[in-house]
Each structure stands twice: as structure tokens, then as C-alpha cells.
């Protein structure tokens, strides 16, 4: 049977529905199989009255009474269990991590706390150092290493992954690993790291997952538990410490009036989560109603989507001024554009939120922080601008800012000295920095591919910053609707909808494959099998394994056929018979499909499946008689009942019809009632209908030719091909010796029983084998690429090139390895190496038109050789069938900041290198810091291959870029 027909089988099964007589029932030979459940959901609503009896002595005392979800987590940590805590922003998830640190200190073990980004790691390092003492907390983030022997280590998830691949000794003493913001597993590029780390963690480590509320916590926890073979307890809480109210801001831009009640804020969702359509309509009418102006012209062009740029600028003066008048500051305004953040902040140039005392505090704090910079760096335009904003209580926070500026903003906001902060969504991730009010400048963002509405989880994460525990009774969330009011469906979905599920982003990388092949602790196939992406199929593995053993036992228990007539060819006869059956089934399916087309062929096959047609039904191990009752045009199905002096009307799939007979019983009823359809007890066949059925059957039995419907009458090519093929097989059965056996029916049934069990055994074996893994073909193709390029040999042993590539954790491993081993880097000077390496980490797509004219010849040659290497690697991948576009692969290496990096290495000041590009200062800093990470990898590779000269050049390059504002120490240290 062709693939297309297999694909349509389930649809075809619905085309003919047949009822079955009360026949012999068959029961399964095995009981339902039990399956180990690893994830256990805790009912937080049940309370925890006996907590203090179960945990009489806490490892850490808190100055407040713990919430129920925190008590549950603490209790299970005391028992050495793993936990998954999902709660809203600011609910107090960090308490769980703090308790794990305290508990491990009491046990003289270690806790590793991981976060998705370095900035969050720095913040946590500062917080935990204050909580547990500086000597007890260390940090490892690639570019920073402080007290790596401390009992509590803060690090990014990537650093932990690298430690696991290298078998770091510190992991032996680890009791807990905390994964903060673990919903980051949904990140398309970096989410795979979370899965890698969880898979590779030693089984003795207790895992603590901290996440925003997601709908499939149990599913994810079940995967974690099964992967580690440890129970894990899921603790969900949807309770907010400070309830939220959601408002629409309807204006007051020029030319627009307040609404009828004089309110600029219209509440659309109250604390209880009730959406008010009435209030939404009021807001809509306010913003979109057409009003005549004094000159009689329509004001419609000043409403809706047509607000002018000037009005958009003054909007923030009015909106923030209104929040101030309503005592709704401090506020965080989430804006999904770095440029807009600064524009909106600068539009408040005439607003000052600080009194003299607070202004003095800001001045002293900022100046003390900036003292660590050179005088020239303190005069950078971005610092001058931010300093002026901060002295009025206004702040900006986005990735384009210098790291030290972002940290100044964070610390001032935490101290309550910033009253209006314009930020991108990264501010919503991380430590607890709540505000009285959160404002959304828009509900649309660009996700790197296209513009779209915010997802409910994204909205909830940002909105959760509203409401300060212990200070505010409610948190206020404001959506800017002065230009256009979003529709009710969008608002309802975003505010009250379900967050995005945790989904696997697991994919294979060359570095992962090489590391696994080198370490030989886990096979690549085993890691794929343990990934979250294989969760559904692997969750059934225990059940499949038990069933596999059961089927094997049944097969072993079957007696061989002891018949001299049948033993030689009954197996072959069975397979031919099955082929005839499959061809007959295809005939029936195609006939049923033709019935519901508008072509003339529908008329030809209608007679074959008309009401009253007698059919034979497979009701294993019996064949019973049925009659088509009625064809239903709505869904293409038919109803029939089967006769044996009794009948039941019941749907039966087309595949169960073994034969459509050349006989019609006209006395069959024309309709079927719903009562008859639901009837389970067999009913007697009327005497008249019974006599008609017997007459038809007798007539068929007396015929010389086959009693089957004459398909040769249907002159359609596809039917005739099937009929001809089937006829050929039927003729071939006459030559089988087994047909002469008087007991062939029982022998045939025995062969069938064995064939069914063998088929199930083959399917189960396939389900449990590596061949069933979705990523296995991708792995094989990538392994072929590695073999072709000389990274592994034919036996899968990692060669020198492969060991070099294993060192590359911060850039494209294959291309960078090619450049190292073909001496491209060795031929460059340290500053030129830095310039060339920028292509591996630069995110800016634009390249200056005259760039090549300004580069030294050696760097131009290096650029050329990099592109040649990338083409070579890209071509090899494409030749082996990987979905790689050579041109797109080459475009991943971006040279927009090559001159900036080169000049920075040559000693040019930061002020001067910013003049070489339009790229924002923070992006430049991040690029240079990532180059430093790549330099570490390449230096390790140079040591591995014994190239002392290259090693010295790379060490010199690292010293050249580690200076001034780019590598200014974090304020959190």
C-alpha cells in the first residue's frame, strides 16, 4: 500500500460505518500495565498546618511567615527531593533557592545557582553575598571568576554545561542545582542548554526548577524525574502577593478629550480577573469617536492610527503626569525598541520627580560609581545623557546601554530613586524590582523575524513587576491606548490567557556531538532519547518494554504446526492471502471515497454500496453477515446491521469489510433512529427480512462464479488495476499444497496468530530502538560531515581537529577550528586577530560601504580566508543533505564591527571607536566581551595543538582588549 493511502486510512475508515451482530467477544490476554509516575503535583490550596512539626528546625530563619508553596518546597528540600516551583513574578520563588543554599551549608555541601544571562548572575551574586556572606558565595560567568571554591556558586547555564562536559571535580560535592527562569527552555537558540545540563547532571544532585507560571509544569517535571530516575514535586501557585488591575490609557493628546467621566484611565480587568466589555466600549468610543473641530473639520485624523509624531511625543508627558497625580509612581514603561526608550525618556525633559535630598543622593551615588572610569569615559555622550535623566528621577534600561549604566539604573531603581523607567522586556527577567505601576507603550513587538502581539506569558512576566509587596494593596497595569484601542479578543487573550507551554528546543550541534563522542559517558543517541522532545515516546517506554516481554512469552508458547501437508508452504500461502485482503480493502476504500465526489465515477460505484447491499464483516475470529442500511451524505459514512437471527446497529470501519457481496435485500429499513444506534441488546430479525436474507444467501451459494460484487463492471482505470492485480494473486493460491489439508482453517488461524504477535513485536522493538528517534537522521548526517572534514575517524573516534573544536564554546566550532589549523590566525597580529574574531560574535547586520578600504591588507586577507572556510564547511554540510544554504551560512559571519574591534585592540579610546559606527555602546561592549570569551577558547586550542607562538599572540590579544570601560568591574561585585 502506498504512503498516500496509508495517510488517508483514518479518513477512509470513517466513510463506511457498519453495525455488528452480537458475536463472540474477545478479551485482551494481558492486564493494563502500570507506569511509574515521577512527578507529583502538590495541592497548595490544602494548606500545610503541620509544617512546623515536620520541619521543627529551619536551616534558615526568615523575617516573615512563609507562604504555603514556600513551606511545601522547603519540606521537600529537607527530604532531599527535587522540586519544580512555578509562581508569578515577585511571588517569592527566590526563598526556595535561598533555603537550598542554607541547607547545603548546613550539610557541608554545595549549591549551584544558574541563570540564563550574566547580568542576572551578577545581581544574584550581590544579593546572595549580602545574605550569606561574601566568603560563602562565588561566581563563574566566563569573564568573571570569584571564589570558585565557595559553597554557593552563581553561574550561567552555559558555564555549568561546560563543567559537566569536562567532569569538573566541584560537581562531586554539589547537593542542589537551581535553575532560575527555567521557562527560558523555550528560547529557540539557547533553550537546548537547559536540556543538556539536566540530562548530564549526576543523579545524586537535587534539581530545583524556578519558573513563571506555565500550563505544563507536570509534563516537564515528569521528563526531569524520568531522566534522573528521581521523584520531583510540582508546586504551582497562581496567587499573587499583590493583585493586579489592568487599565487602558485613553489619552489626552492634543485634539482629544477625556472620556465622559473625565477619566484618562479606564479599568478593563479588576483584581478578580473579570474583563469588563462595557468599560472597553467606553474607552473605544473615547479614542475612536469622530469629533468636529472648531473649524468644522473632522478630527478623525487625530485619532485611531493617525496620531502625529508630535502628539506621540507629548503623550508621555500627559501619561506620566497623570500617573504622578494619581500617586501611581514609580512606574516601569515597557517599550519594545531601544531607540524609543530613549526618545520617550527625553520627552520628559521638563519633568522632575526628585526633591533636593533625593537629587543629592542620586548625584553622590552616580559619581561614586563612575569614579572607576577614566575621565574620558565619564564624558561619553551616553553617560552624560543618562546622568542628566537620573538627576530628575527618569531612567532608561536596554541592551544598548553600557553595562555600568544599566547597573547604575538598576541599583537606583531598587533604592526608590527612579520614578519613571523606560525599559525593554529584559528588565522583567531577574531579581525582584517591582514598581507601583507598569505601563505598556504597545502590545506589539518584533521577535527577530516579524511583528506580532505579545504572548500571554510575556505580558504576564512584565505586568508582574506591578505591585510592591508590603507597600501596595494593588498593582496597576496600564496599556497605552491613546492612539488605538486593541480589540477585546487581543486584550482578553493577552491579559487572561494561558502562558506558553514549555516546549523542547533540543537540537544537535557539532560541539555537543564531539564532546559526547570524546567523553564516551553517554552515547549521542542516548542524549537524544533523554531530551524533552522525546518525552512523549520515551514516557511509554516502560509500558512498551513490559508488553515486549509479554509478546515474546506468547510467541515462545505457540506450538509449531505439525502437519506434513501444510508445513512447507502455509506461511507463504498466508502472506499471499493477506495481500489479497489488502487489495480488497483498497478497492472498498476507493469506492467509498468516490461516493463523495461530484464526478461521474460516483454514479458508477454508488450501486456497489447502496442501501440493502449484503456485506461480510471481519469480527475476528469470525466472519459475520451485514446489510448496508443507509448512506449518510453529511460525513460520507454508512450504517449497516448484521444478521444472525439477531441484529445490532453499529458503526464499523471500512477496513473491517472483507467482501461486498453481489446481492441486495430490498426489505432493509431506510432509516435508523438514534435509539437504535445506542441500542446494545441484540434484537430479533423480522420473519420477512430473515426470509429475504436466506433467499439471497442461497442464491449466492448456488452460483458458479464468485459471490463478490463484480468490480470489473466499473470501467475506471484505478479499479481495473487493483482487480487485475488481485486476480493474479488469487490464481497463484491454487498451486499451494496446504490447500489440500482438511484442517487448513485451524492451521491458517495459527499462522495468523503468530503473524499478529510478530508484527506487534517488530513495532515494539522499533519503538524502543534508536531508529525511532526524530533527530537520528540529523545526527547521522552531521557525523558524516565530521568524518569528511577529519574531525572524527570512520570508527567515530575524535581526532585532533575534533578535540580542538571541543574547545569552541563561544563561536562556530567548525569554521573557527579550520582557521586555527590552516594557520590563518597564526599569520595575523594580535589586534588583527581580534578584528577577525568579531565576525563570529557580531550581531549587527549592516556593514559600512567603505569598510574594505579602511582595513589593513592582512585583515582583508583574513576576512577572505574566513569566508572561504565558511563556504567549505557550508558546502560539505549541504552535500550531505543538511538543510544549509551556503549563502545564508556565510552571512552568519558579520563584519560590521571588525574595524571597531581592531581599533579598540590598537588602543583607540571608546569615545573614538563609537564614532566609527552607528551601533549603540552597549552592543559594542557586548561584542568585545564575547570576543574575549572566544579568545579563551582559541587559547585553549593553541595549547592543545602545541602552538606556543599562537598562544602568546592570543594572550597578548586578550590583554589588549581587557581595558577601560568595556571591562569595568560590575557594581554588584
Average confidence score pLDDT of the chain: 85
Highest mean pLDDT among 256-270, 387-401, 674-688, 692-706: 387-401
Backbone angles phi, psi at 518, to 5 degrees: -75, -45
Kindly state the cell numbers that stand for 486. Answer: 486593541
Residue among 143, 126, 122, 118 at smallest CA distance from 967: 143
12 pLDDT above the threshold of 60: no
CA distance 194 to 365: 37
CA distance 240 to 324: 25
Q: What is the mean pLDDT of residues 408-431?
A: 91
Backbone angles phi, psi at 254, to 5 degrees: -60, 135
In 918-972, alpha helices (H): 921-945, 948-961
23 pLDDT above the threshold of 50: no
Residue 708: per-residue pLDDT: 87
Q: What is the mean pLDDT of residues 172-201?
A: 93
- CA 181 from chain centre, in angstroms, equals 14
CA distance 97 to 121: 13
* C-alpha distances out from residue 743 to 570, 736, 751, Å: 12, 14, 13
Q: Looking only at Cα atoms, what is the longest distance across the chain?
A: 113
CA distance 365 to 226: 50
Kindly state the cell numbers that stand for 425. Answer: 522586556
Count the Cβ atoms, other than its own, within 10 Å of residue 430: 20
The mean-pLDDT minimum among 449-458, 574-583, 672-681, 928-937 falls in 672-681
CA distance 720 to 710: 11
The mean-pLDDT minimum among 140-144, 150-154, 207-211, 872-876 falls in 140-144
Crossing angle of helices 857-879 and 813-821, in 10° steps, is 130
Reduced to 3 DSSP states, what percent helix, strand and coil does the chain have, rounded to the nearest 5? 50, 15, 35
Count the Cβ atoms, other than its own, within 10 Å of residue 674: 7
Residue 252: per-residue pLDDT: 60
How buried is residue 901: exposed, middle or buried, by Cβ count under 10 Å (0-12/13-18/19+)? buried
Is there a contact between 441 and 209 (Cβ–Cβ < 8 Å)? no
Cis (ω within 30 of 0) for the bond into 188? no
Q: What percent of the chain is predicted at pLDDT more than 70?
A: 86
857 pLDDT above the threshold of 80: yes
Is there a contact between 589 and 635 (Cβ–Cβ < 8 Å)? no
CA distance 459 to 728: 66
CA distance 486 to 443: 8
CA distance 439 to 324: 13
- CA 751 from chain centre, in angstroms, equals 47
Q: Three-state SS for 46? A: helix
* C-alpha distances out from residue 350 to 328, 387, 388, 525, Å: 19, 15, 12, 63
CA distance 892 to 874: 11
The DSSP-derived string for 6-35 is HHTHHHHHTT------S------SSPPPP-
pLDDT in tens, 231-240: 999 999 988 8
Is there a contact between 756 and 621 (Cβ–Cβ < 8 Å)? no
Backbone angles phi, psi at 769, to 5 degrees: -90, 165
Beta bridge partners of 661: 708
Which contiguous run of DSSP H or E holds residue 211? strand 206-211
Q: What is the CA radius of gyration of the chain?
A: 36
Is there a contact between 366 and 387 (Cβ–Cβ < 8 Å)? yes
Kindly state the cell numbers that stand for 360. Answer: 543629592
Q: What is the mean pLDDT of residues 513-529?
A: 92
| Residue 312 pLDDT grade (very low, low, confident, very high; cuts 50, 70, 90) | low
Backbone angles phi, psi at 682, to 5 degrees: -60, 140
Is there a contact between 329 and 468 (Cβ–Cβ < 8 Å)? no
- The full length of the chain comes to 973
Residue 772: per-residue pLDDT: 75
188 pLDDT above the threshold of 90: no
Is there a contact between 613 and 641 (Cβ–Cβ < 8 Å)? no
Q: Three-state SS for 793? A: coil
Cis (ω within 30 of 0) for the bond into 27? no
Is there a contact between 101 and 111 (Cβ–Cβ < 8 Å)? yes
Backbone angles phi, psi at 179, to 5 degrees: -110, 100
Looking only at the bridges linking them, the beta strands covering 638-643 and 622-631 are antiparallel
User: 447-482 in b/e burial notation, b at 16+ Cβ within 10 A?
Assistant: eeeeeebbbbbbbbbbbbbbbbeeebeebbbbbbbb
Q: What is the mean pLDDT of residues 72-96?
A: 93
CA distance 654 to 585: 8
Residues 6+ apart with CB under 8 A from 614: 625, 626, 627, 661, 663, 664, 665, 693, 696, 697
CA distance 357 to 416: 13
Count the Cβ atoms, other than its own, within 10 Å of residue 940: 16
CA distance 731 to 426: 74
The mean-pLDDT minimum among 363-377, 395-409, 841-855 falls in 841-855
Residue 231: per-residue pLDDT: 95
Residue 146: per-residue pLDDT: 93
pLDDT in tens, 617-675: 877 667 788 887 765 333 434 444 444 556 666 677 777 788 888 888 876 654 444 44
| Residue 699 pLDDT grade (very low, low, confident, very high; cuts 50, 70, 90) | confident
Residue among 618, 588, 636, 653 at smallest CA distance from 13: 653
Kindly state the cell numbers that stand for 422. Answer: 523606560
Which contiguous run of DSSP H or E holds residue 638? strand 638-643
Which contiguous run of DSSP H or E holds residue 858? helix 857-879
Is there a contact between 184 and 191 (Cβ–Cβ < 8 Å)? yes
Residues 6+ apart with CB under 8 A from 510: 782, 785, 786, 791, 805, 813, 814
CA 429, 435, 436, 441 dihedral sign is negative
The mean-pLDDT minimum among 77-81, 252-256, 368-372, 601-605 falls in 252-256
DSSP 8-class letter at 737 = G
Count the Cβ atoms, other than its own, within 10 Å of residue 857: 7
Please provide the distance, in angstroms rounded to a whole number, between the alpha carbons at the two ends of the chain: 68
DSSP 8-class letter at 429 = S
459 pLDDT above the threshold of 90: yes
Going along the chain from its start, the domains and CATH numbers come out as 39-236 (3.40.50.300), 244-290+308-486 (3.40.50.300), 569-671+684-740 (2.30.30.1160), 799-961 (1.10.3380.30)
Amino acid at each position: 500500500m502506498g504512503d498516500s493511502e496509508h495517510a488517508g486510512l483514518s479518513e477512509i475508515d470513517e466513510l463506511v460505518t457498519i453495525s455488528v451482530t452480537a458475536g463472540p467477544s474477545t478479551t485482551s490476554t494481558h492486564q493494563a500495565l502500570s507506569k511509574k509516575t515521577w512527578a507529583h503535583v502538590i495541592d497548595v490550596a490544602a494548606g500545610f498546618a503541620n509544617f512546623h512539626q515536620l520541619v521543627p528546625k529551619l536551616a534558615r530563619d526568615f523575617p516573615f511567615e512563609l507562604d504555603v508553596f514556600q513551606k511545601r518546597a522547603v519540606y521537600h528540600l529537607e527530604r532531599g527531593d527535587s522540586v519544580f516551583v512555578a509562581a508569578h513574578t515577585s511571588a517569592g520563588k527566590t526563598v526556595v533557592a535561598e533555603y537550598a543554599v542554607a541547607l547545603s551549608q548546613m550539610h557541608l555541601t554545595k549549591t549551584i545557582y544558574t541563570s540564563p544571562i550574566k547580568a542576572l548572575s551578577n545581581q544574584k551574586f550581590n544579593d546572595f553575598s549580602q545574605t550569606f556572606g561574601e566568603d560563602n558565595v562565588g561566581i563563574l560567568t566566563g569573564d568573571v571568576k570569584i571564589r570558585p571554591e565557595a559553597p554557593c556558586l552563581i553561574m550561567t547555564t552555559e558555564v555549568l554545561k561546560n563543567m559537566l562536559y569536562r567532569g569538573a571535580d566541584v560537581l562531586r560535592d554539589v547537593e542542589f542545582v537551581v535553575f532560575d527562569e527555567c521557562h527560558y527552555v523555550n528560547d529557540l537558540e539557547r533553550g537546548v542548554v537547559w536540556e543538556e545540563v539536566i540530562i548530564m547532571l549526576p543523579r545524586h544532585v537535587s534539581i530545583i526548577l524556578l519558573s513563571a507560571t506555565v500550563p505544563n509544569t507536570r509534563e516537564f517535571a515528569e521528563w526531569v524525574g524520568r531522566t534522573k530516575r528521581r521523584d520531583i514535586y510540582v508546586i504551582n501557585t497562581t496567587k499573587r502577593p499583590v493583585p493586579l488591575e489592568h487599565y487602558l490609557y485613553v489619552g489626552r493628546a492634543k485634539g482629544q478629550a477625556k472620556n465622559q467621566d473625565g477619566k484618562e484611565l479606564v479599568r478593563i480587568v479588576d483584581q478578580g480577573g473579570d474583563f469588563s466589555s462595557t468599560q472597553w466600549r467606553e474607552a473605544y468610543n473615547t479614542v475612536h469617536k469622530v469629533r468636529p473641530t472648531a473649524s468644522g473639520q473632522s478630527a478623525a485624523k487625530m485619532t485611531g492610527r493617525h496620531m502625529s509624531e508630535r502628539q506621540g511625543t507629548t503623550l508621555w508627558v500627559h501619561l506620566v503626569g497623570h500617573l504622578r497625580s494619581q500617586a501611581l509612581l514609580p512606574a516601569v514603561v515597557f517599550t519594545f525598541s531601544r531607540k524609543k526608550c530613549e526618545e520617550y525618556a527625553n520627552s520628559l525633559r521638563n519633568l522632575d520627580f526628585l526633591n533636593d535630598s533625593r537629587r543629592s543622593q542620586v548625584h553622590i551615588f552616580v559619581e561614586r560609581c563612575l569614579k572607576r572610569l577614566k575621565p574620558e569615559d565619564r564624558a561619553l555622550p551616553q553617560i552624560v545623557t543618562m546622568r542628566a535623566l537620573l538627576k530628575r528621577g527618569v531612567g532608561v534600561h536596554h541592551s544598548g546601554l553600557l553595562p555600568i549604566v544599566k547597573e547604575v539604573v538598576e541599583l537606583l531603581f531598587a533604592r526608590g530613586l527612579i520614578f519613571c523607567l523606560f525599559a525593554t522586556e529584559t528588565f522583567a527577567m531577574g531579581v525582584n524590582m517591582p514598581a507601583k505601576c507598569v505601563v505598556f507603550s504597545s502590545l506589539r513587538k518584533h521577535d527577530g523575524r516579524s511583528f506580532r502581539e505579545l504572548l500571554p506569558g510575556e505580558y504576564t512576566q512584565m505586568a508582574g513587576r506591578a505591585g510592591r509587596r508590603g507597600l501596595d494593596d494593588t498593582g496597576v497595569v496600564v496599556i497605552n491606548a491613546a492612539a488605538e484601542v486593541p480589540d477585546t479578543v487581543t486584550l482578553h487573550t493577552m491579559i487572561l490567557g494561558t502562558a506558553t507551554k514549555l516546549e523542547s528546543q533540543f537540537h544537535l550541534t557539532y560541539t555537543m556531538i564531539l564532546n559526547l563522542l570524546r567523553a564516551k559517558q553517554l552515547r549521542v543517541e542516548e542524549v537524544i532519547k533523554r531530551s524533552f522532545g522525546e518525552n512523549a515516546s520515551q514516557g511509554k517506554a516502560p509500558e512498551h518494554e513490559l508488553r515486549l516481554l509479554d509478546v515474546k512469552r506468547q510467541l515462545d508458547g505457540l506450538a509449531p504446526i505439525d502437519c506434513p501437508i501444510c508445513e512447507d508452504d502455509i506461511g507463504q500461502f498466508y502472506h499471499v492471502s493477506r495481500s489479497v485482503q489488502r487489495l480488497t480493502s483498497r478497492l472498498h476504500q476507493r469506492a467509498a471515497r468516490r461516493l463523495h465526489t461530484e464526478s461521474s465515477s460516483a454514479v458508477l460505484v454508488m450501486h456497489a454500496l447502496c442501501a440493502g447491499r449484503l456485506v461480510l464483516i471481519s469480527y475476528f475470529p469470525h466472519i459475520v453477515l451485514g446489510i448496508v442500511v443507509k448512506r449518510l451524505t453529511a460525513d460520507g459514512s454508512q450504517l449497516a446491521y448484521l444478521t444472525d437471527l439477531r441484529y445490532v446497529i453499529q458503526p464499523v470501519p471500512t477496513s473491517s469489510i472483507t467482501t461486498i457481496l453481489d446481492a441486495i435485500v430490498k426489505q432493509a429499513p431506510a432509516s435508523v433512529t438514534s435509539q437504535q444506534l445506542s441500542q446494545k441488546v441484540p434484537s430479533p430479525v423480522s420473519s420477512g427480512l430473515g426470509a429475504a436474507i436466506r433467499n439471497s444467501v442461497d442464491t449466492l451459494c448456488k452460483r458458479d462464479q464468485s459471490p463478490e460484487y463484480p468490480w470489473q463492471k466499473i470501467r475506471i482505470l484505478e479499479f481495473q488495476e487493483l482487480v487485475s492485480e488481485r486476480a493474479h494473486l488469487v490464481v497463484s493460491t491454487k498451486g499451494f499444497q496446504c490447500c489440500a489439508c482438511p484442517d487448513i482453517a485451524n492451521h491458517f488461524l495459527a499462522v495468523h496468530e503468530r503473524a499478529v504477535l510478530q508484527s506487534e513485536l517488530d513495532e515494539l522493538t522499533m519503538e524502543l530502538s534508536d531508529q525511532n528517534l526524530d533527530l537520528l537522521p540529523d545526527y547521522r548526517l552531521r557525523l558524516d560531515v565530521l568524518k569528511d572534514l577529519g574531525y572524527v575517524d570512520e570508527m567515530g573516534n575524535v581526532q585532533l581537529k575534533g578535540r580542538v573544536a571541543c574547545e569552541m564554546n563561544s563561536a562556530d566550532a567548525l569554521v573557527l577550528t579550520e582557521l586555527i589549523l590552516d594557520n590563518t590566525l597564526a599569520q595575523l597580529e594580535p589586534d588583527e586577530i581580534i578584528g577577525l574574531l568579531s565576525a563570529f560574535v557580531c550581531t549587527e547586520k549592516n556593514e559600512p560601504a567603505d569598510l574594505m578600504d579602511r582595513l589593513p591588507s592582512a585583515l582583508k586577507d583574513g576576512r577572505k580566508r574566513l569566508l572561504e572556510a565558511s563556504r567549505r564547511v557550508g558546502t560539505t554540510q549541504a552535500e550531505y543533505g543538511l538543510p544549509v544554504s551556503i549563502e545564508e551560512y556565510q552571512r552568519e559571519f558579520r563584519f560590521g564591527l571588525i574595524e571597531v574591534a581592531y581599533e579598540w585592540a590598537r588602543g583607540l579610546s571608546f569615545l573614538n571607536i563609537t564614532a566609527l559606527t552607528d551601533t549603540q555602546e552597549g552592543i559594542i561592549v557586548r561584542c568585545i566581551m564575547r570576543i574575549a570569551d572566544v579568545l579563551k577558547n582559541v587559547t585553549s586550542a593553541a595549547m592543545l595543538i602545541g602552538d606556543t607562538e599562537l598562544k602568546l599572540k592570543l594572550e597578548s590579544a586578550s590583554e589588549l582588549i581587557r581595558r577601560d570601560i568595556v571591562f569595568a568591574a560590575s557594581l554588584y561585585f
